């Protein structure tokens, strides 16, 4: 299962890429594979303030619905409109076109996992 080395992760199976104080967030290939065909996604709205650990949206597959948690503190500054119309992109390109939302950080995130730690976690669950 692909775990890109340049990203950070959470134990809730999200990935985080931080550039110039803005975090781009999506769900991992492991999560997308476990969910199956994704049929609906609701990312948070632009301008909402999110706290790390808060529920801020949801992802639905044929079989289940999962909450999206914010992995960071800050304000939502952008949302991927394309995945709302084409939720299957989350499964086919989770680290690319399947990204979900961007947060301008109000503080540096703590508790993110390294690629090695995330790989270990998913191997433990697998």
Partner 1 sequence: MTALGNESASAPRTTPLYEVHQDLGANLVDFAGWLMPLRYGSETAEHRAVREAAGLFDLSHMGEIHVTGPQAAAFLDYALVGHLSRVAVGRARYTMITAGDGGVLDDLIVYRLGDDEYLVVANAANHDTVVAALTERVPGFDARVDDRSAGYALIAIQGPEAARILAPLTDADLTQIRYYTGYRLTVAGVSVLLARTGYTGEDGFEIFIEPGTDAPRVWQELTKAGEQYGLKPAGLSARDTLRLEAGMPLYGNELSADITPFDAGLGRVVKFEKEGDFVGRAALAHAAENSRPRRLVGLIGHGRRVLRSGHEVLCDGRTVGSVTSGAPSPTLGVPIAMAYVDGGLDITAGKFTVDVRGRAEDVDVVELPFYKRDR
Contacting residues toward partner 1, per CB under 8 A:
12-14, 27, 30-31, 33-37, 39-40, 58-60, 62-63, 65-69, 125
The minimum distance between CB 55 and partner 1, in angstroms, equals: 9
Q: Which is nearer to partner 1, 4 or 36 (CB)?
A: 36
Beta-carbon count within 10 A of 122 CB? 19
The minimum distance between CB 2 and partner 1, in angstroms, equals: 15
Q: DSSP labels for 90-118?
A: HHH-TTTTT--EEEEESS---SPBPHHHH
Q: Which is nearer to partner 1, 21 or 56 (CB)?
A: 56
Q: Which is nearer to partner 1, 21 or 117 (CB)?
A: 117
SS3 of residue 79 by DSSP: strand
The minimum distance between CB 87 and partner 1, in angstroms, equals: 8
Give the pair of three-digit tokens for residue 40. 């609906």
The minimum distance between CB 20 and partner 1, in angstroms, equals: 26
Three-state secondary structure of 17-57: EEECCEEEEEECHHHHHHHCCEEEEECCCCCCEECCCCEEE
| Spatial contact of 103 and 23, defined as CB atoms under 8 Å apart | yes
Q: Which is nearer to partner 1, 21 or 45 (CB)?
A: 45
């Amino acid at each position: 299962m692909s775990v890109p080395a340049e990203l950070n992760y959470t134990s809730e199976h999200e990935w985080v890429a931080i550039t110039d104080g803005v975090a781009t967030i999506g769900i991992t290939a492991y999560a997308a594979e476990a969910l199956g065909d994704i049929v609906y996604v609701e990312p948070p709205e632009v301008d909402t303030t999110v706290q790390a650990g808060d529920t801020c949206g949801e992802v639905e597959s044929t079989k289940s619905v999962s909450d999206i948690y914010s992995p960071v503190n800050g304000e939502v500054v952008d949302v991927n409109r394309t995945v709302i119309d084409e939720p299957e992109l989350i499964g086919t390109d989770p680290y690319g076109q399947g990204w979900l939302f961007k947060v301008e950080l109000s503080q540096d995130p703590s508790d993110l996992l390294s690629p090695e730690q995330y790989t270990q976690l998913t191997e433990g669950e697998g």
